[in-house]
Structure 1
Amino acid sequence: MDRGKTSFDCSSRANNFIDSRNNKIYMDLKDIIREHALHFLPAKSLFRFQGVCRDWKLWISTPFFAHNQSLSFHTFSGIFLQSPGNPPSFVSIDPKSCGMPDPTLKFLPEPVDIRSSSNGLLCCQGCDGDKAYYICNPVTKQWKKIPKPIGDHGPDPAVVLIFEPSLLNFVANYKLICAFPSADFDNAIEFEIYSSIEGSWKISGEIFFANRKLMPKSGIHVNGVVYWQVKHSRIVAFDLKKDRAQLIHGFYGVKGLLGEVDGKLCSAYVNSHSIMVNVLSNVYSNTMQMNSNARTWEEKDRIHLDNSEFGEFAVGQAIVVFVGGNVVLVQAGRTILSHDTKNKETTVLCSAAENGTRCVSYVNSLIYI
């Protein structure tokens, strides 16, 4: 009897030890997910995960977590669509995981036009009064009004927002740069830069004499350089560090679009039944010796288009409205298709886009302003 009782006690203690070990494993796994996985998710998913437990809710709500998420999550999440005179709307690449509470941006003090976006932040411009610039995060509804610029940016400013999350900065430090026609010199372009650190605008000493008309909605920032398309298949590039501008040749097609792929400037355009994606390889190719094999652009990808995907519209009527990362968006009529260059899949992102609608890409971030 004593031996049986001893055996039972040992078995009971062993089971209790195993249960204790299992509980510890479960707790450790929960902590691992919280500490090392959550910040790789988009904002909408994180708001849903706040309901898992009180610990996760408090953790996701901290500025430290929002900072880590802005550093870790840079995935294309969807596009803002805005036609002239109408409020914006948002189309998510995955409605279950990416979204926002107020896609029309009614939390801002006045109706706005979206001008640019960068890693979760939007640059908007008021439609009335002095047409002020606003920087906002549409997920958190935080916003700031930017001081009035020094130069005249015109009715459709070629402004580009630059926000690059930094490990050392818990609050977003960003810049706005606008290329605008010079008031002092004919056929010249000047550049004005706003810094959130300094809280003021500064006009660059660089004056670019090119006799070229900028395409305001074409601006993009890649690795410290801002690029704008100009007419006659050219690109104006402004280097922020060198404070210098130059003209880049060889950009293909009036319907081409600038973007970023693998950390390089790229151009994408529809050619016959394909989307051509080229990357900038040598900005000095036009100064190379004769018969040099150096080329300004190199082909990165060629995506075949099927007429059946566009319904009543022919492939030749399609235009590229976004290219970045692994995503290319193409519009024909009211239909916008999304093509993933990695898995080679094409899906319908939106079937109700109006003519003249502007598309602005967005990343679903929790970043604090």
Structure 2
Amino acid sequence: MDRGKKPGRFLGAMNSKIYLDLKDIIREHALPFLPAKSLFRFTGVCRDWKLQISTPFFAHNQSNSFRTISGLFCQAPGDPPSFISLDPKACGVPDPSLTFLPDQVDVRASSNGLLCCEGCTGEKAFYICNPVSKQWKKLPKPNANHGPDSAIVLIFEPSLLNFVADYKLVCAFPSVDFDNGYEFEIYSSAEESWKISGEICFGNRKLLPRSGVHVKGVVYWMTKNGSSIVAFDLMKERSQLLYGSYGSSLGVMHGKLCLVSVSRQLLVVNVLSNVYSNTMVMNSNAKTWEEKLRIPLSNDAVPGGISYDQALVVFAGSDVVVVQAGRSVFSIDIKTKESAVLCSAADHDVRIIAYVNSLVYF
């Protein structure tokens, strides 16, 4: 009789050991891949999880592990920002209007959990903040007057080897000294200062302020006519013009620059294949862009009977494309080909900035 009970006690001990190991595995290897809102909810699971999630090292690890678009900051002119979550149960921010900042602000750019905001009054200072932790920093005044038509890109690339969250803010602005020219000024958090580049991009082209993206050390902006793209290499501090496509928007998918457009019930994604095609000899077969994806869209994707020809891609990345058509904003999942309406009452001139729900400290 006693012999028969021993295996039971042994198996019970093994099951307990398996449970403890699984708990540790989830804590160490699964939690960093979750968005910030879910993690705050999971601090109530147990004391160990709360302590783990609250450490700066965990925040650093999560900012490296979680890079998926979580929602959109939307802002109409003169109004405070609001937030639309792609998954309200998992992703969100405690103060979508950003009232923790010392000034009413316009959201100008976003990168991997950090937001760049510009004050609406006074000196119109730039602020970098994390809307999850409400941590913020006021940047020093730029050397140049960027004016109201500046095009801004925030660059923050988390790295496991760099515990300090270094970032850059790149501003392309119309030159006051040279007609039809754009100059570039860069703020570096590592140096805590602004620097005006010696490069000037000439040509009768106006940049779209909200069109900028960053790919592997190069910043790209669409021009207002859509026929060309201005590229600025941060390392060489040199600019270059690329062929564009009218009606398309810039995006980044799987580390590559993309042109994305929606028209005639089709979502089309083209990937940059040759940046030097405009310098090739005549009759060359070299193409600047190569089509990589073509997704048919259902008639139900856009409510209210709005034509796809009226749709504008406002974000493309993380296998998600966000499109605005009239007052409707909807997302398209590249993998599942499914679409979902995010908002049906957006203003026509609303500013839409994609956001990653990160714990990053800077």
Same structural fold, with TM-score higher than 0.5 when normalized by the shorter chain? yes
The letter of the residue matching 2:228 is: R
Higher deviation after alignment, 91-100 or 329-338: 329-338
- Per the alignment, residue 220 of structure 2 pairs with 227
Deviation of the 1:229 alpha carbon: 1.2
Structure 2 residue aligned with 1:278? 270
Query: What TM-score comes out, normalization by structure 1 length?
Result: 0.95
Of the candidates 144, 149, 152, which is equivalent to residue 151 of structure 1?
Answer: 144
Larger Rg: 1
Task: State the partner residue of 1:141.
Answer: 134
Paired letter, 2:251: G
Name 1:110's counterpart in structure 2: 103
**Residue pair 1:307, 1:315 contacting (<8 A) in 2 also:** no
Counterpart among 223, 234, 237 of residue 240 in structure 1: 234
Quote the offset at 1:292 in angstroms. 1.5
CA displacement 1:236-262 (0-9 Å, x = unmatched):
10001111101112x111x32111012
Give 1:304 shift. Answer: 2.1
Aligned pairs for 1:161-180 (under 5 A) are 161-180=154-173
Q: How does 1:55-134 map to 2 (within 5 A)?
A: 55-134=48-127
Tell whether 2:160 aligns with 1:205: no
Q: CA deviation at 1:170?
A: 2.1
User: CA contact under 8 A between 1:171 and 1:367: conserved in structure 2?
Assistant: no
Q: Equivalent residue of 1:259, what SS?
A: strand
Cα deviation for residue 306 of structure 1 reads 3.1
- State the Cα distance separating 1:78 from its structure 2 match: 1.0
SS in structure 1 at match of 2:210: helix
* Equivalent AA in structure 2 for residue 293 of structure 1: N
Cα RMSD, aligned residues only: 1.3
Which residue number in structure 2 is paired with residue 294 of structure 1?
286
Question: 1:244-259, aligned counterparts within 5 Å?
Answer: 244-249=238-243, 251-253=244-246, 255-259=247-251
Q: How does 1:340-351 map to 2 (within 5 A)?
A: 340-351=333-344
Distance (whole Å) between structure 2 residues aligned to residue 305 and residue 15 of structure 1: 58
Task: Calculate percent identity across the aligned residue pairs.
Answer: 66
| Per-residue CA distance 1:267-298 (angstroms, 9 max, x = gap) | 11223232222111111111112221110111
What SS does structure 2 have at the residue aligned with 1:218? coil
Maintained 8 Å contact 1:274/1:305: yes
Cα offset, 1:325, TM superposition: 2.4
The AA in structure 2 aligned to 1:20 is A
Q: Distance in 2 between matches of 1:74 and 1:343?
A: 19
Unaligned runs of 5+ in 2: none
Within 2, Cα distance between the matches of 1:353 and 1:291?
Answer: 46
Match of 1:33 in 2: 26
Q: Secondary structure at the match of 1:216?
A: coil
Q: Please give the per-residue CA displacement for 1:303-356, whole angstroms capped at 9, x wherever unaligned.
A: 223333322312222221111121111211221121111111111122221211
Q: 1:67-88: CA deviations, max 9, x gaps?
A: 0000100011111111100011
Q: Give the secondary structure class of the aligned counterpart of 1:166.
A: coil
- 1:308 paired residue number: 300
In structure 2, C-alpha distance between the alignment counterparts of 1:304 and 1:14, rounded to whole Å: 60
Which residue in the other structure is 2:316 paired with? 323
Contact 2:230 2:241 in 1 (8 A): yes
Do structure 1's residue 262 and structure 2's residue 244 form an aligned pair? no
Alpha-carbon distance in structure 2 between the residues aligned to 1:221 and 1:308: 33
**What is residue 335 of structure 1 aligned with on the other side?**
328
The answer as to 2:347 corresponding to 1:354 is yes
Letter matched to residue 167 of structure 1: L
Deviation by residue 1:54-112 (Cα, 9 ceiling, x = unmatched): 00000000000000000100011111111100011111111111111111111111110
TM-score normalised to structure 2 length: 0.96
Distance 1:95 1:271 in 2: 29
Equivalent residues of 1:63, 1:170 under 8 A apart: no
Tell me, what secondary structure is at the counterpart of 1:343? coil
Which has the larger displacement, 75-84 or 163-172?
A: 163-172
Mark the runs of 5 or more structure 1 residues left unpaired by the alignment.
Answer: 1-6
SS at match of 1:354: coil
SS in 2 for 1:45: helix
Residue 358 of structure 1: how far off its partner (Å): 1.2
User: Partners in 2 of 1:366 and 1:299 — Cα distance?
Assistant: 36
Q: Which residue of 2 aligns with 1:3?
A: none
**1:269–1:319: 8 Å Cα contact kept in structure 2?**
yes
Instruction: Give the equivalent residue in structure 2 for 1:4.
Output: none
